[in-house]
Structure 1
Amino acid sequence: MLMSNADRAARLHYMANGFRVLSPGDHVVCARSGARIALEDLRYWSVAAQEPYASPAIASESLRPR
């Protein structure tokens, strides 16, 4: 039986110029907002924190000291 990756969160390794899929899926979840991000729409992440972000504003906010 073929397994579908639809509606499954992927596990990724984030690198400076892209990411590598560790576990297949069709989306990731934003580390700050919890929003679902389709892999084809993923543009913002932190290599150091290994976290995806849904928007540039959320990515910038994650850089601020807490």
Structure 2
Amino acid sequence: MSDPTSDLALLHYGDGEFAVIRPGRAVTCAVSGKPVPLEVLRYWSARLQEAYAGPAEAFQRLAQVP
């Protein structure tokens, strides 16, 4: 069985785009902890450098941050 963390990418999140620092197939949602495949990653925070699984998770997290 392979280590699931070996499939995790390391990204730098920018405004409207991200840069791949370490290749992988997915990132982890900062709210739910669920893996988010890079091909469907649409929500992240450049300021917090976090990824989110969807709009609900992004809204939830950003509502917590002043």
Whether TM exceeds 0.5 here: the answer is: yes
**RMSD over aligned Cα, in angstroms?**
1.3
In structure 2, distance between residues paired with 1:11 and 1:65: 24
Segments of structure 1 that go 5 or more residues without pairing to the other structure are: 1-6
Where is the helix percentage greater, Structure 1 or Structure 2? Answer: 2
The percent identity for this pair of structures is: 47
Per the TM alignment, residue 34 of structure 1 is displaced from its structure 2 partner at its CA by 0.5
Gaps of 5+ in 2: 1-5
Structure 1 segments (4+ residues) deviating >3 Å: none
TM-score (norm. length: structure 1): 0.85
Matches of 1:46 and 1:54 in 2, distance apart? 12
Aligned residues: 60
**Residue 17 (structure 1) shift:** 1.3
**TM superposition score normalised by structure 2:** 0.85
Which protein shows a greater Rg? 1
